[in-house]
A and B are shown apart, each in its own frame.
Chain A
Amino acid sequence: MFEAQHIGVQYQRSGKPFAPFSDVSFALEGGRLYNLTGPSGSGKSTLLAACALMLPRSGGSLVLNGVPFDRFHPTEWRRRVCLVPQAAALVPGTVRDNLRFPWTLKVNAGTQPPSDGALEELLALAQLNGVTLDHSAAQLSGGQQARVALLRAFATRPTVMLLDEVEAALDEESAVAVSRLTRALLTGGTTCLRIRHRADDGYACGTFTLADGAISYEAHPATVSNAPVTGEGVAAPAPRERSR
């Protein structure tokens, strides 16, 4: 479904050469949730950013549903392969402004923004019951902001979700709610790779470990809570030819 083939990252970070890995390959299947772990500094966040075309890469290819990344316009790719960074920033305005923000972008011009009802449903699923759509984003707590940023990405229904320690600012109960919500969104062939430091919550079907420039995979024993999600969701629109 989503494949990273021989991805390498190399650039000058603050003037010093930075090359955490040079040949990393992995594949994600639709309807599943994966963990990504590894020692600090091994390049986990870098790998997610590289998959979202947010960093200079030294080589390799990325493939989504059989279509290589260079057939997409980069913004179209990022709309499908959506990275939620560790400290995702909210835009000034209300919670509604933030959740609808993706629909102010050209890349989503062809689709309708979700209704208030759908957004309120999302808020409830992420245990943000006290937060209304008219709340000012700046007045939310750190954990609430993290969840609104996450919901904003979820609302666009990307095909691949790359979550960079989004639960770091959450208490245990909200973290479980977020995991449950993430899994509920894996319909229609969606897949999710998340960096995680907490104890396993049982939702992931396997764990990738990135260490010393190499990646390894270990499948978790199959259970009810990590079984592949099936069922039709919103089908991803066909890729638009790269205009450049």
Chain B
Amino acid sequence: MTGGVVNIGYVELVGASLLMLVAGIVSWRLRLGQTRRIAVSTVRAFVQLLAMGLLLVYLFQYQTWWLVGIVLVGMCIAATQIATGRTKRVMGGLWADTFVSITVSSLVVSFIVVEAVIHADPWYNAMQLVPITGMMLGNTLSASAVATDRLLASMDSRASEIYTMVALGATPREAAFPSIKAAVGAGMTPTLAQLSAAGIVQIPGMMSGQILAGADPIIAAKYQIVVLLMVSAATTLSIVVMCFLAYKKRFSAEGYFLDPALRDDIGSQG
């Protein structure tokens, strides 16, 4: 099964981390003040990835549908934490919106792919569900964080237009719609760019990993096609869900726009 796989020894693994010395030296010489962060990030990547590997070994061995379910929910919560931490404009209530947006989009697309394309056996097989959901979450969390930032920035820059539209009888959705459109459109651009660059500029990470792990390049390519398509679908879905949930946070119950002056009071209460 592991035909052409060349395992990496732990000595070599530690040796590879010496490559981070380049980043460390640059940071030290240019006084970027990032030296500590570089060390912490490197150690974190080490520990987290090995822990994930270890967890998967046990999960594959003892998997039941509810154990896999718990792991998936845990991954969604962790992804939400990371996504909300990235958004500069943190507001009450946005956590739930982010959770809904990335969880729904990632799980829906993952299940479609795992059940209808890969035909996993058993249907909850962690070997397919966990890595695929993980890839979906990684992509949707950054997409929804960027889309939220863009949506709120666009609404703030259109504050006077939104105010005027509401004064003419527009509902919050009608007043926010041009911003929603802009945020969704902009959010889809990197996904489409990635699709058209695939295979020419770069061999995407997942395909590279499979080839390195000894898989047939054609099988790897087929998996990569499925992954790219489902990433596009999941990010688009998460951006749309996120935008249609998040714009409401900028309006009061009576439907007037909460511009920056009004926000300290009401915005924090969600």
Q: How far is the CB of B188 from chain A (nearest CB, A)?
A: 21
Pairwise interchain contact B166-A54, C-beta atoms closer than 8 A = yes
A153 to B171, CA, bound (A): 16
Given that A13-B261, A74-B254 are contacting pairs, would A52 and B161 also be in contact in the complex, using a CB cutoff of 8 Å? no
Closest residue of chain A to B257, judged by CB?
Answer: A54
Residues on B with C-beta less than 8 A from A40 are none
- Tell me the bound Cα distance from A12 to B168 in angstroms: 25
Task: Select the residue from B164, B255, B256, B266 with max chain A CB neighbours within 10 A.
Answer: B164
Q: In the assembly, what is the distance between CA of A152 and CA of B261, in Å? A: 27
Which residues A1-38 have CB closer than 8 A to chain B? 11-15
Total contacts A-B at CB 8 Å: 83
Which of the 9-residue segments A82-90, A124-132, A182-190, A220-228 touches chain B? A82-90
Q: Which of B230-270 contact A (CB under 8 A)?
A: 252, 254-256, 260-262, 264-266
> Is B41 located at the chain interface by the 8 A CB criterion?
no
Complex Cα distance A106/B160, Å? 20
Q: Is A234 in contact with chain B by the CB < 8 A criterion?
A: no
Q: Is there contact, CB below 8 Å, between B168 and A102?
A: yes
Contact of A74 with B167 at beta-carbon distance under 8 Å, contacts A12-B265, A106-B174 already known: no
Q: How far is the CA of A84 from the CA of B165 in the complex (A)?
A: 10
- The answer to whether B171 and A75 have CB atoms under 8 Å apart is yes
For B158, B160, B260, B262, the residue with the greatest tally of chain A CB atoms inside 10 Å of its CB is B262
Contact B174–A101 (Cβ < 8 Å):
no
Check A83–B167 contact: CB distance below 8 A: yes
Kindly provide the distance from the CB of A63 to the nearest chain B CB, expressed in whole angstroms. 17
- The number of residues on chain A lying at the interface, defined by a beta carbon within 8 Å of a beta carbon of chain B, is 34
A193 at the B interface (CB under 8 A): no
Max chain B CB contacts within 10 Å: which of A74, A82, A88?
A74
Q: Does A56 contact B (CB under 8 A)?
A: yes
Partner of B168, one of A56, A76, A156: A156
Q: Is B228 an interface residue (CB 8 A)?
A: no
Residues of A within 8 A of B168 (CB): 78-79, 82, 101-102, 105, 152-153, 156
Residue B169 is within 8 A (CB to CB) of chain A in the complex: yes
Q: Is A53 an interface residue (CB 8 A)?
A: yes
Q: Is the CB of B167 within 8 A of A85?
A: yes
Interface: B59 (CB within 8 A): no
B residues whose Cβ falls under 8 Å from a Cβ of A: 158, 160-161, 163-171, 174, 252, 254-256, 260-262, 264-266
Show 28 residue pairs from A and B whose CB-CB distance is below 8 angstroms, ordered by the A residue.
A11-B262, A12-B262, A12-B265, A14-B260, A14-B261, A54-B166, A54-B167, A56-B252, A56-B265, A56-B266, A74-B254, A74-B256, A75-B169, A75-B171, A75-B255, A78-B167, A78-B168, A78-B169, A79-B168, A82-B168, A88-B160, A105-B168, A105-B174, A107-B169, A107-B171, A108-B169, A153-B167, A156-B168
